Structure 1
Amino acid sequence: MTIVRYLVGYVFITSGIMKFVNPELGETFISLNLPFPLQFMTAIAVIEIICGLLIILKKWVQQATFPLIGIMIGAIILTKFPVLNDSFMQFAFNARLDIVMLVLLAYLYFE
């Protein structure tokens, strides 16, 4: 479905661009205690922009969704799972958009 491709592409392109223009996101990556957090954030931003464009242009959609699925799973594990210690409902609320994007990416992968 074309609208799903456009929306998913839009979300990832804007997410990737924000990683370049919003310095606070660098602090978020640093707080995750990942190795080379700023380089990691830059790599993720580039992947999001390129894969988002490929999805919008309907070029190699399956190949473009695969790394984005990995990014979404990583985001859920690193930023949402820790909230499970507090409450499941807080986790469900915080992860709702990530889960929707993950499902839409799976839909595009199998489309």
Structure 2
Amino acid sequence: MEKGVNDAVLESRVGKYFKLDERKSSFTKELRAGTATFLTMAYIITVNATILAYSGGYQSCLDKTKSDLVVATLLSAMIGSFAMGILANLPLGLAPGMGPNAFRGL
């Protein structure tokens, strides 16, 4: 009988590390959940950069500043989310908070 992807990952070191069997989960379920989390958090990438760019930047360097802020937002969300998943072994996505940034933009 041929093993499926879920069974193969479940028996691998990755499956054991993330305790997929104990948590009654599977690789494909976690993949779908991760994709949904990414799509839910994706708006932060542009919204956060826009708020910060318009909070006091000069008009001539606004585009450069905004692209730099998009990269900074992406990297901080990626690093935080990977650290939470790999180091803490928790299924949580982390991204920069936008609350204080919104006040700065007013």
Question: Would you call these one fold, judging by a TM-score over 0.5?
Answer: no
TM-score range, shorter chain: 0.3 to 0.5
With a CA cutoff of 8 Å and minimum separation of 6, indicate the structure with the bigger relative contact order.
Answer: 1
Choose between structure 1 and 2: higher helix proportion. Answer: 1
Q: If the length of structure 1 is used for normalisation, what is the TM-score?
A: 0.34
Q: Which has the larger radius of gyration?
A: 2
